């Protein structure tokens, strides 16, 4: 499995082209071989591709705005062009709109929209890839969640997922179970730990933290085994909030992944 990073982790160190290059070279020196990111406003996709090739990194997805894709055929063509530049067949989108997050009908509507957009991408050899957080595990009753609709009612040939170990745990489900469930539809997984911090003011409070891989409460041995058995190609470290310098956190995650045999 390739070891990569989600550029959101180092978002404060990507302010201009010089910072961008310096930060990606740091990532490479740690040992990562892949990066997941959108194209920054101050560079073209062609310039980004040339730079990451020079550094020795690979971009595993392209990114697009889903609402724009759904509304404008030209946006489909632009997303396909960017994916071709980056040499990937995966086009990532953000979380479903807020207006759709609190009802069965909303999740069903978004699933239909994903199918429509994904079908257009699939005609040109690309797949849509969706990154769930915790909110998709909104309970619809009887043990069913919004995420079940997004998974079960989308086309498995062209709608893929990039599950996130932290958000799965935060959503109250077992990451290992969902990794197995997504077999064949998940070329990459986001790795970050789910930690409980000290100092809770009341017994009911949960001090939930984003943590480096192996520094929290998740069952990494079985998570990694599930990734291997289901054919995950990329494990992408993403830490939304780091206690200190994010490059130090990325080093810790990398070292712990090596310790776990990734």
The CATH number linked to 238 is 3.20.20.150
Average pLDDT by consecutive 10-residue portion of the chain (262 residues)? 97 97 98 96 97 97 95 96 97 95 96 98 98 97 95 98 98 97 98 94 93 98 98 98 97 98 96
User: Cα(200)–Cα(207) distance, rounded to whole angstroms?
Assistant: 6
CB 87 within 8 A of CB 59: yes
**pTM (2 d.p.):** 0.96
8 three-class SS: helix
Q: 189 is in which domain, residue-wise?
A: 2-259
In which residue are the tokens 């063509």 written? 77
User: Cα(197)–Cα(98) distance, rounded to whole angstroms?
Assistant: 29
CB 253 within 8 A of CB 239: yes
Q: How many domains does the chain have?
A: 1
User: Cα(29)–Cα(66) distance, rounded to whole angstroms?
Assistant: 34
């Amino acid at each position: 499995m390739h070891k990569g990073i989600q550029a959101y982790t180092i978002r404060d160190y990507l302010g201009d082209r010089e910072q961008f290059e310096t930060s990606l070279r740091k990532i490479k020196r740690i040992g990562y071989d892949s990066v997941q990111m959108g194209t920054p406003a101050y560079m073209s996709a062609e310039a980004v591709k040339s730079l990451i090739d020079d550094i020795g990194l690979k971009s595993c997805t392209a990114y697009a705005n889903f609402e724009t894709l759904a509304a404008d055929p030209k946006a489909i063509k632009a997303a396909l062009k960017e994916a071709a530049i980056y040499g990937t067949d995966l086009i990532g989108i953000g979380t479903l709109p807020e207006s759709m997050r609190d009802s069965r009908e909303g999740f069903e509507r978004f699933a239909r929209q994903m199918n429509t957009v994904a079908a257009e991408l699939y005609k040109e050899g690309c797949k849509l890839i969706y990154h769930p957080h915790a909110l998709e595990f909104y309970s619809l009753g009887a043990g069913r969640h919004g995420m079940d609709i997004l998974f079960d009612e989308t086309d498995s040939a062209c709608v893929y997922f990039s599950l996130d170990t932290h958000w799965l745990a935060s959503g109250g489900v077992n990451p290992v179970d969902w990794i197995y469930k997504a077999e064949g539809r998940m070329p990459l997984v986001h790795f970050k730990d789910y930690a409980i911090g000290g100092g809770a003011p009341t017994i009911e409070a949960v001090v939930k933290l984003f943590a480096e891989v192996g520094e929290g409460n998740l069952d990494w041995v079985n998570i990694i085994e599930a990734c291997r058995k289901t054919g995950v190609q990329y494990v992408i470290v993403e830490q939304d909030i780091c206690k200190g310098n994010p490059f130090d956190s990325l080093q810790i995650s990398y070292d712990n992944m090596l310790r776990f045999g990734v």
